């Protein structure tokens, strides 16, 4: 159990980087005062509801809204005829052909729930009654809801894409066939990773207002990427970016589901216009959340690997087929993550994996924490254990022979600089007493309950260019006369604590205590641009911007001090709220005095520090998979110890050790919290989280039937922070938040095999599958 305590009781945090300072929004949250968009209400606010398709695949012949319009209390109804019918997408820059969704579909619906309009009424009851009165005439089309069926010739065509393949991603290096021939052992395995729901507790919610007199829009959105949302609104509404303001308040979790503009955001704005400028709130209920928001791609993952007798990987090939649902969303990047992460983990020269993302008549698959890395993590890391077991090499030893190293260039031209993967593996192994437990026939193997231990490793990017040619972040540090310091960042804190970490970075760079910082984030009108919270990029990229803004403000203060005291600015520094002369090693004045000087009669100098950062990366060639996607890379190793009841098939995860190369922990407590949250999500995905469909309809759209982890049975979690001091990261920090989720399922599956010999290759792991596996083992003898 982790025991780090933050220091909110200690009076001040002068050099806050590296300290577990309390969350900047902590007191607001625990008192219920923090405002989420969920809590926003305005006088005369209307309630909006989406009009959704009841067919998985159909042509829209006619929509008659007249009866609904006549219902007292209904204020506005929109359908496609009120829109420009402009398509938008999420990977517009690299994959323009995947821009395939309209905010309001005009001709065809492609899944049960597809948005074909929206209503706004004085209250929810009236809005729901209005939905009942809307008459839609469809021409049903044959539908296909299974990804493998959808790829077959003659399957119903969902978009204009051959065999319903929306995205094809070939990643190809060297000559794997030749390498296989020269290999000592070649093995192929097939895995299946199921669909999962984000299940953020705050549902998707927005309030849109179109000020008709000025023709400006304000959207309060529960968003991970307010600037991306603004771009999509501007495109689909044919407006200028500066006429749209997207304001993010506190966000009750995102996990990828709140990365994109959804039709509801568009609808709230347009309904408001039609209703004469009254604000319109649209909020999903839990059933809508499970049924109509984004989900994790289900994937069939086939992988084949050749090794030498000593267990060195010679080549790898494979095929990834992913269920994309009705539209593309972040599909291309999900496919890239599902394939190209392998290069960050293992040294590979001969490689070919082709990825196919398939359209089906089911709700839209999108980016969920880790993009495709969770699914590939399960497949690859399970596969590695199977190879190691065959060769009789300890799985840790096998990995150590094949992992990437510091300062290496991968075959697809990723530049791995700092790389703590080896240290992560070794420290996790020591902490978990791996050598004592692994493969030990005496270690809790005698009775019905058997214990086992397994490992999984992973790597992660710190950002990725997805919808623009750049992925820069900006920050402003404003120091006021009274000593208050404002940090303006475009980054969207969705609960992970980025406002806290960025404030720590800015305070440290400026040289003041953390308590001075007020953080304003994610408002497109007042904060600098930021691409959003995804791909573990915020600490690394937005953090670098905050660092630069803090330093810039400091230099402005020191310039005044230098001028006043006729000193060389290069001799001055400010740290811990003291301006010092480095040459004489004396304290000249404190921060307050320095500010007094800046804002004095003679100077009147406003201190406004600026920071902008765009990581040095190279464009990715998506025909081959070549390119340095990230400014640095994070690494991690995870070891799970499980106990399986061989009579009931029940599995308990007893302990998990997670060693994570995070460069430098800006806030160790927040890092641990991110790791623990990832582990819980990973355990949920491994055992119970399985979004099930029948004929395109979600079968378990509620928390009763979609089981996320609850407190009972939470294993002991041990976080091991490996600090590699990244030269490019702010104060040496890397991003984190996704990597810890990637190897969890495999670590558990590997531990399960160690415990009882059963290998599960399709998620989720259920008691029934284990009992079946045990039975088969027995029959085999």
Partner 1 sequence: MKKLTINNKEYLLDLKGHETLLEVLRDKLSLTGTKTACEESECGTCTVEINGKAVLSCITLAADIEGEAVTTIEGLADGDKLHPVQQAYVDYGAVQCGFCIPGMIMSSKALLDKNPSPTQEEIEYALDGNICRCAGYPKIFDAVRKAGEVMKNGGNLEQAVVAAQDKFKSTMAKGITYEDFLKMKQT
Does 698 interact with partner 1 (rule: CB under 8 A)? no
User: Which residue among 162, 446, 448, 704 contacts partner 1 (CB under 8 A)?
Assistant: 704
By rule CB under 8 A, what count of residues binds partner 1?
A: 64
Does 22 interact with partner 1 (rule: CB under 8 A)? yes
Complex with partner 1: residue 615 or 701, whichever CB lies closer: 701
User: Which residue among 322, 502, 673, 748 contacts partner 1 (CB under 8 A)?
Assistant: 673
Residue of 482, 490, 587 lying closest to 537 (CA atoms): 490
Pick the piece of the chain touching partner 1 (CB under 8 A) from 29-37, 318-326, 425-433, 558-566.
29-37
User: Which residue among 679, 721, 733, 748 contacts partner 1 (CB under 8 A)?
Assistant: 679
Does 494 interact with partner 1 (rule: CB under 8 A)? yes
Does 10 interact with partner 1 (rule: CB under 8 A)? no
Whats the size of the chain, residue-wise?
781
Query: Least separation, in Å, of the C-beta of 451 and partner 1?
Result: 20
Q: β-strand 295-296 against 365-366: which pairing, if any? A: parallel
Dist CA 53 CA 60 (whole Å): 9
Does 24 interact with partner 1 (rule: CB under 8 A)? no
Pick the piece of the chain touching partner 1 (CB under 8 A) from 16-24, 53-61, 319-327, 475-483.
16-24
The two tokens of residue 367 are: 């980016």
Complex with partner 1: residue 663 or 684, whichever CB lies closer: 684
Does 202 interact with partner 1 (rule: CB under 8 A)? yes
Query: Least separation, in Å, of the C-beta of 33 and partner 1?
Result: 7
Dist CA 56 CA 305 (whole Å): 39
Q: How many CA atoms lie within 13 A of 654 on its CB side?
A: 16
Contacts 24+ apart (CB under 8 A), 235-243: 235/86, 235/88, 236/83, 236/84, 236/86, 236/88, 236/102, 236/103, 236/261, 236/266, 237/84, 237/266, 237/269, 237/270, 238/84, 238/86, 241/524, 243/215, 243/216, 243/217
Residue of 528, 581, 530 lying closest to 558 (CA atoms): 581
Phi, psi of 458 (to 5 degrees): -160, 170
**Local structure of residue 327 (DSSP, 8 states):** S
Q: Annotate each residue in 390-409 with x if it binds partner 1 (CB under 8 A) or - if it does not, as one string.
A: --------------------
Does 681 interact with partner 1 (rule: CB under 8 A)? yes
Complex with partner 1: residue 276 or 713, whichever CB lies closer: 713
Does 221 interact with partner 1 (rule: CB under 8 A)? no
Query: Which residues of 404-535 form beta strands (DSSP E)?
Result: 408-409, 415-416, 449-461, 473-479, 485-489, 517-521
The two tokens of residue 587 are: 């304290």
Query: Least separation, in Å, of the C-beta of 459 and partner 1?
Result: 21
Cβ atoms within 10 Å, residue 123: 12
Does 503 interact with partner 1 (rule: CB under 8 A)? no
Does 366 interact with partner 1 (rule: CB under 8 A)? no
Q: How many CA atoms lie within 13 A of 223 on its CB side?
A: 30
Pick the piece of the chain touching partner 1 (CB under 8 A) from 88-96, 201-209, 227-235, 355-363.
201-209
Complex with partner 1: residue 87 or 707, whichever CB lies closer: 707
User: Which residue among 41, 214, 407, 586 contacts partner 1 (CB under 8 A)?
Assistant: 41
Complex with partner 1: residue 21 or 278, whichever CB lies closer: 21
Complex with partner 1: residue 588 or 653, whichever CB lies closer: 653
Complex with partner 1: residue 624 or 700, whichever CB lies closer: 700
8 A C-beta contact, residue 467 and residue 88:
no
Cβ-count burial 178-217 (b if 16+ within 10 Å, e if not)? ebbeebeebeebebebbbbbbbbebbbbbbbbbeeeeebb
The two tokens of residue 711 are: 């407190």
Query: Which residues of 33-134 form beta strands (DSSP E)?
Result: 46-52, 58-64, 74-79, 87-88, 101-102, 108-109, 115-121
The two tokens of residue 24 are: 């900047």
Does 655 interact with partner 1 (rule: CB under 8 A)? no
Query: Least separation, in Å, of the C-beta of 719 and partner 1?
Result: 9
Pick the piece of the chain touching partner 1 (CB under 8 A) from 479-487, 579-587, 597-605, 712-720.
712-720
Pick the piece of the chain touching partner 1 (CB under 8 A) from 63-71, 181-189, 553-561, 678-686.
678-686
Query: Least separation, in Å, of the C-beta of 431 and partner 1?
Result: 16
Query: Least separation, in Å, of the C-beta of 39 and partner 1?
Result: 4
Complex with partner 1: residue 1 or 162, whichever CB lies closer: 1
User: Which residue among 157, 624, 688, 714 contacts partner 1 (CB under 8 A)?
Assistant: 714
Does 35 interact with partner 1 (rule: CB under 8 A)? yes
Q: Annotate each residue in 278-317 with x if it binds partner 1 (CB under 8 A) or - if it does not, as one string.
A: -------xx-------------------------------
User: Which residue among 669, 686, 745, 750 contacts partner 1 (CB under 8 A)?
Assistant: 669
In order of 170, 195, 561, 695, the CA distances from 159 in angstroms are 21, 22, 65, 18
Complex with partner 1: residue 27 or 181, whichever CB lies closer: 27
User: Which residue among 325, 677, 730, 773 contacts partner 1 (CB under 8 A)?
Assistant: 677
Pick the piece of the chain touching partner 1 (CB under 8 A) from 4-12, 240-248, 307-315, 507-515.
4-12
Q: At what angle do helices 226-237 and 263-274 cross, to 10 degrees?
A: 50
User: Which residue among 532, 709, 730, 732 contacts partner 1 (CB under 8 A)?
Assistant: 709
Query: Least separation, in Å, of the C-beta of 712 and partner 1?
Result: 5
Pick the piece of the chain touching partner 1 (CB under 8 A) from 58-66, 259-267, 430-438, 714-722.
714-722
Query: Least separation, in Å, of the C-beta of 24 and partner 1?
Result: 11
Query: Least separation, in Å, of the C-beta of 148 and partner 1?
Result: 31
Dist CA 689 CA 408 (whole Å): 37
Query: Least separation, in Å, of the C-beta of 286 and partner 1?
Result: 4
| Omega before residue 111 within 30° of 0, cis | no
User: Which residue among 82, 703, 757, 774 contacts partner 1 (CB under 8 A)?
Assistant: 703
Cβ atoms within 10 Å, residue 762: 14
**Local structure of residue 444 (DSSP, 8 states):** S
Complex with partner 1: residue 233 or 501, whichever CB lies closer: 501
Does 676 interact with partner 1 (rule: CB under 8 A)? yes
Does 200 interact with partner 1 (rule: CB under 8 A)? yes
Complex with partner 1: residue 402 or 539, whichever CB lies closer: 539
The two tokens of residue 738 are: 């996704």
End-to-end, the C-alpha distance of the chain in Å comes to 40
8 A C-beta contact, residue 666 and residue 17:
yes
Collapsing DSSP states into helix, strand and coil, what is residue 745?
helix
Residue of 473, 453, 452 lying closest to 462 (CA atoms): 473
Cβ-count burial 652-684 (b if 16+ within 10 Å, e if not)? ebbbbbbbbbbbbbbbbbbbbbbbbbbbbbbbb
The two tokens of residue 448 are: 């019905």
Does 59 interact with partner 1 (rule: CB under 8 A)? no
**Local structure of residue 649 (DSSP, 8 states):** -
Q: Annotate each residue in 237-276 with x if it binds partner 1 (CB under 8 A) or - if it does not, as one string.
A: -------------xxxx-x---------------------
Complex with partner 1: residue 37 or 322, whichever CB lies closer: 37
Query: Least separation, in Å, of the C-beta of 308 and partner 1?
Result: 40
Residue of 528, 539, 685, 673 lying closest to 609 (CA atoms): 528
Q: What would the 3-class secondary structure string for 151-196 be?
A: CCCCCCCCCCCHHHEEEEEEEEECCHHHHHHCCCEEEEEEEEECCE
Positions in the binding site for partner 1 (CB under 8 A): 1-6, 8-9, 20, 22-23, 25-36, 38-39, 41, 199-203, 250-253, 255, 285-286, 494-497, 669-670, 672-673, 676-681, 702-704, 708-714, 716-717
């Amino acid at each position: 159990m982790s025991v780090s305590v933050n220091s909110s009781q200690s009076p001040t945090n002068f050099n806050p980087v590296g300290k577990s300072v309390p969350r900047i929004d902590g007191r607001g949250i625990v008192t219920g005062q923090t405002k989420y968009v969920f809590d926003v209400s305005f006088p005369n606010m209307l309630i909006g509801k989406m009009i959704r398709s009841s067919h998985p695949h159909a042509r829209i012949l006619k929509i008659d809204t007249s009866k609904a319009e006549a219902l007292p209390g209904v204020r506005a109804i929109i359908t496609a005829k009120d829109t420009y019918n402009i398509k938008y997408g999420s990977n517009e820059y690299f994959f323009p052909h995947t821009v395939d969704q309209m905010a309001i579909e005009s001709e065809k619906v492609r899944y049960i729930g597809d948005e074909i309009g929206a209503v706004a009424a004085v209250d929810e009851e009236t809005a729901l009654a209005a939905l009942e009165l809307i008459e839609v005439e469809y021409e049903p089309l044959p539908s296909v809801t299974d990804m493998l069926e959808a790829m077959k010739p003659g399957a119903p065509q969902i978009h204009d894409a051959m065999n319903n393949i929306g995205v094809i991603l070939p990643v190809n290096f060297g000559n794997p066939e030749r390498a296989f021939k020269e290999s000592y052992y070649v093995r192929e395995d097939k895995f299946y990773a199921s669909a999962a729901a984000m299940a953020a507790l705050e549902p998707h919610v927005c309030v849109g207002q179109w000020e008709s007199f000025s023709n400006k829009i304000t959207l309060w959105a529960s968003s991970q990427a307010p600037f991306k949302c603004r771009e999509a609104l501007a495109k689909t509404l044919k407006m200028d970016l500066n006429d749209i303001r997207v304001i993010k308040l506190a966000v009750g979790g995102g996990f990828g589901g709140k990365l994109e503009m959804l039709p509801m955001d568009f609808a709230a704005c347009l309904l408001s216009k039609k209703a004469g400028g009254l604000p319109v709130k649209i909020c999903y209920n839990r059933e809508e959340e499970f049924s109509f928001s984004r989900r994790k791609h289900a994937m069939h993952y086939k992988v084949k690997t050749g090794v030498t007798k000593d267990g060195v990987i010679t080549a790898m090939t494979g095929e990834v087929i992913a269920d994309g649902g009705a539209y593309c969303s972040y599909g291309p990047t999900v496919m890239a993550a599902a394939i190209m992460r392998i290069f960050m983990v293992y040294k590979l020269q001969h490689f070919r994996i082709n990825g196919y993302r398939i359209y089906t008549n089911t709700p839209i698959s999108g980016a969920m924490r880790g993009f495709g890395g969770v699914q590939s993590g399960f497949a690859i890391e399970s596969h590695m254990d199977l190879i190691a077991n065959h060769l009789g090499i300890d799985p840790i030893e096998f990995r150590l022979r094949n992992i990437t190293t510091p300062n290496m260039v991968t075959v697809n031209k990723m530049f791995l600089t700092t790389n703590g993967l080896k240290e992560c593996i070794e420290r996790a192994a020591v902490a978990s007493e791996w050598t004592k437990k692994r493969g030990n026939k005496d270690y809790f193997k005698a009775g019905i309950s058997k214990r086992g231990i397994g490992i999984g490793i992973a790597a992660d990017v710190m950002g990725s260019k997805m919808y623009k040619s750049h992925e820069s972040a900006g920050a402003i540090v404003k120091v006021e006369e009274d000593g208050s310091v404002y940090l303006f960042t475009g980054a969207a804190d969705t609960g992970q604590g980025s406002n806290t970490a960025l404030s720590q970075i800015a305070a440290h760079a400026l040289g003041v205590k953390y308590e001075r910082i007020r953080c304003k984030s994610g408002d497109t009108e007042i904060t600098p641009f930021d691409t959003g919270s995804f791909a573990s990029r915020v600490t690394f990229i937005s953090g670098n911007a905050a660092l630069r803004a803090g330093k810039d403000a400091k230099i402005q203060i020191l310039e005044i001090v230098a001028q006043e005291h006729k000193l060389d600015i290069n001799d001055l520094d400010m740290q811990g709220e003291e301006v010092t002369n480095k040459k004489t090693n004396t304290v000249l004045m404190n921060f307050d005095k320095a500010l007094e000087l800046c804002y004095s009669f003679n100077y009147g100098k406003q201190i406004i520090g600026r920071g902008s950062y765009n990581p040095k990366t190279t464009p990715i060639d998506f025909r081959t998979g070549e390119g340095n996607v990230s400014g640095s890379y994070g690494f991690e190793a995870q070891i799970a110890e499980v106990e399986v009841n061989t009579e009931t098939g029940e599995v308990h995860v007893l302990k998990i050790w997670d060693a994570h190369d995070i460069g430098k922990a800006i806030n160790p407590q927040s890092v641990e919290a991110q790791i623990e949250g990832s582990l819980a999500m990973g355990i949920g995905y491994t055992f119970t989280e399985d979004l099930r469909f029948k004929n395109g309809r979600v079968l378990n759209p509620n928390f009763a039937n979609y089981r996320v982890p609850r407190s009972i049975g939470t294993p002991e979690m041990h976080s091991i922070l490996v600090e590699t001091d990244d030269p490019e990261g702010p104060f040496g920090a890397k991003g984190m938040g996704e990597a810890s989720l990637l190897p969890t399922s495999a670590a558990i599956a590997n531990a399960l095999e160690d415990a009882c010999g059963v290998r599960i290759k399709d998620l989720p792991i259920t008691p029934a599958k284990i009992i079946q596996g045990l039975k088969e083992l027995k029959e085999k003898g």
